[in-house]
Structure 1
Amino acid sequence: MKVFEGRCSETPPRPCSGGFMKVISTAEVPAVERFAFWREVTSQVWAPYDLRCEPHLESRFQARMDISEFGPVQASLMTSTPYSAERTPRLIRKADPGLFRLVCTVRGHGVMAQDGRQAEFGPGDLMLADTSRPYRAELSPDVPGGQVLVLCLPRSLLPFSHRDLRHLAGVRLRGDQGMGALSSQFLLQLAQHMHELGPSDTARLATLTLDVFTAALATALDAEDTVPPHARRRVLMAQIFGFIRRNLADPQLTPDAIAAAHHISLRYLHKLFHQEGHTVAGWVRERRLERCRRDLADPRLADRPINAIAARWGFGSAAHFSQVFRGTYGVSPGQFRRQCAQTTGECAHT
């Protein structure tokens, strides 16, 4: 990106679990230049836009963008002072990268308009836009720092006709129902953990991210049957895995509860995990053991009783926890904690 050459605002690529993420920020740009600089950033990363910001906000404008690649899908997590962005016919003639955008609102709300359709959006909602046709999007100024995750994909790679895609522009997908909810939850989790992902993680997530993108578009077209079953299954499994991780501390996290939360039968839940080479209870237990192991290795938690750590992550019986911990790691929880203390925390990273 030649526009960033010599600019102190672009931080060096940031390590993320063995990989790198491009981080672009206005933090070190003089205040009077920040909004103009951000106009250049969005032009280089996405496409040229006419950006506007209310004068009292522009004077203290701040923005940051974390960028990762998931195969053909570019993911950009943007946090910024509210502003509006417009793709005008003149700017489209100037540069048309032929991108389709799927925007997931992480924080804040606003409005988007394209092809005569206008929709308001809020946290968790998905918005669809075609950069090859005029549109306008605006983050509401009543939230000081809005945040959105923007996925961009060349239109040529989408399994939909140009006619179908025209029906998607300016459409809001609610993030609290149906496939929209599955897609939204995956993208919100991606936004939260994107900085932790290394090259192997992004490679593994590339297909899933593309599946989520496609599923969201198919939902907006009312054509979910056009999404291959394996793609719908991967999206559903990503949602289930995220739900389990968020609820590990709940002792009532049972297969029945997991199935009910995702509106599927218990039998189908077990089938999904069997196809992944796991059992539901086994996968939950493994994640809980990982959290307990991490806490036992943490010197800041050295005074916390082992049974309290076990209970924190959903183990109702200290004896049962000790038994499964030893069976998994070959030592008792107490022995593991002592080993970690002797090696000054090295176990926390093994």
Structure 2
Amino acid sequence: MDVISTDNLPPGERFDFWRDVSAEVFVPYDLRCDPQLEREFQGRIDVGGFGGVQAALITSMPHSVHRTPKLIRQADPEVFKLGCMVRGTGMIAQDRRHADFGVGELMLFDTSRPYVAELHPHVPVSQLLLLRFPRTLLPLPSRDLRKLGAVRLPAAGGVAALSSQFLLQLARSMGELSPADTTRLSTLTLDLLTVALADALDAQAVVPQHSRRRALMAQIHAYIREHLGDADLNPESIAAAHHISLRYLHKLFQEEEHTVAGWIRERRLEQCRRDLAEPGLAGRSIQAIGGQWGFRNPTHFSQAFRSAYGLSPLQFRRQNMAVHAERTGVHTAAWTSLNTP
């Protein structure tokens, strides 16, 4: 992960630096900023690669980006960009279309055609995740994708909602990803982009079967994570929510060498383990933590936890809190309460 920032530059040089960096990382732009903001401008770009997709998390003060015909003639890498607003609001205009966008909403634009994009000035600092990828990377005709330029893909419902959730999570975790994570996520990123854009074009038939299957699994995984606290979460309810047969659901998990119930249990145990290791939750009972993540029976929870991690929930909590206390040198009255479930 590379980080580019204006932090260590004199205020008068920051926006010129930002303009140069944007041209190098993305494509040449005509960047514009309110003169008063320009004198105090601050910005940061966290850049990473996901296979053929470049991901850039942009955190900056308000400004506008103009991709002009002259700049296109100077340099045209023939790439599309897809943005997901993480914080703030913005606007994009291309091919006589105009759209405002907010947090979680997606927008596509073609760098081979003129456009204007803006971070709205009423938000002091905005954050945008921008994916840059060659046209040839998606199995969708460029002429069809251009129909989506400056079209807002809402974050509520459907595949676009899954893509939005995935990209927002990606933005939150970019700085923590290992090389193995980026390799694994590169394929999933492309699959989700392909399916979301094909869905917006009503062209699902052109999406390869393996991409549809992986995107469906990502959607199912996201659904399970969202409903982990529901004790009634089960294969039947998951299959019904995704309009597939129970048999096909089990087949999808078998292809990944998992069972549906086993995958749910593993995710629930991971959440319980995380909460039991959190010092800020020391006052919460073990039974309450298990119940929050779908374990109705405390005995079953304790047995499942021990089977997965080799310690009972109480032993695991004591061990982690002792390490925390040793690191911080802080021993509080809350420590005593940890001896009881």
- Shorter-normalised TM range: 0.7 to 0.9
Q: Where does residue 25 of structure 2 map in the other structure?
A: 45
- Residue 239 in structure 1 maps to residue 222 in structure 2: no
- Residue 312 of structure 1: which of 263, 279, 292 is its match? 292
Q: Any stretches of 5+ residues in structure 1 without a counterpart? A: 1-20
Decide which of 67, 72, 76 is 1:96's aligned counterpart.
76
Cross-structure match for 2:114: 134
1:276 maps to 2:250: no
Change over 3 Å in CA distance of 1:158–1:334 after alignment to 2: closer
Looking at structure 2, the residues matched to 156 and 125 of structure 1 have their Cα atoms a distance apart, in angstroms, of 24
Equivalent in 280, 291, 295 of residue 271 of structure 2: 291
Over aligned residues, Cα RMSD in angstroms? Answer: 2.5
Q: Does structure 2 retain, via aligned residues, the 8 Å contact 1:183–1:215?
A: no
Matched, 1:327 2:304: no
Q: Percent identity?
A: 62
- 2:150 is matched with which residue? 170
Residue 345 of structure 1 and its aligned partner are, at CA, apart by 8.6
Alignment of 1:1-350 (within 5 A): 21-259=1-239, 261-298=241-278, 301-302=281-282, 304-340=284-320
Shift of 1:203: 0.6
Cα distance in 2, alignment partners of residues 70 and 55 from structure 1 = 36
Cα separation, partners in 2 of 1:59 and 1:258, compared to 1, 3 Å: farther
In structure 1, the partner of 2:335 is none
Q: TM-score, normalised by structure 1?
A: 0.83
Q: Is the 8 A contact 1:171 1:220 kept in 2?
A: no
Partners of 2:209 and 2:92 lie apart in 1 by 31
- Quickly say closer, same or farther: Cα 1:242–1:335, change in 2 above 3 A: same
C-alpha offsets along residues 220-265 of structure 1, whole Å, 9 cap, x if unaligned? 3321111112212212222332333344334344445544554555
User: Could you tell me whether the CA contact under 8 Å between 1:105 and 1:148 is conserved in 2?
Assistant: yes
Does the 8 Å CA contact 1:182/1:236 hold for their aligned counterparts?
no
What CA distance in whole angstroms lies between the structure 2 residues aligned with 1:175 and 1:297?
33
Pairs aligned (count)? 326
In structure 2, the gaps of 5 or more residues are 327-341
Per-residue deviation, 1:319: 0.9
- Following TM superposition, by how much is the alpha carbon of 1:107 offset from its aligned partner in structure 2, in angstroms? 2.3
Scaled by the length of structure 2, the TM-score of the pair is 0.85
1:78-105 per-residue CA deviation (whole Å, 9 max, x = no partner) reads: 1222221010011112222221111122
**Distance 1:247-1:54 versus aligned 2 partners, 3 A rule:** farther
In the superposition, relative to structure 1, how do residues 203 and 119 fare at CA in structure 2: closer, same or farther (>3 Å)?
Answer: same
Instruction: Quote how far apart the aligned CAs of 1:187 are.
Output: 1.6
- Assess if the C-alpha contact under 8 Å between 2:272 and 2:293 holds in 1: yes
Tell me by how many angstroms 1:290 deviates.
1.8
Distance 1:168 1:51, change over 3 A: same
**Equivalent AA in structure 2 for residue 216 of structure 1:** A
Secondary structure in 2 matching 1:103: strand
CA distance in 2, matches of 1:34, 1:95: 24
Q: What SS class does the counterpart of residue 175 from structure 1 fall into?
A: coil
Q: What is the CA-CA distance between 1:76 and the residue it aligns to?
A: 0.8
| Cα distance in 1, alignment partners of residues 236 and 65 from structure 2 | 46
From the superposition, tell whether residues 62 and 246 of structure 1 become closer, same or farther in structure 2 (CA, over 3 Å): farther
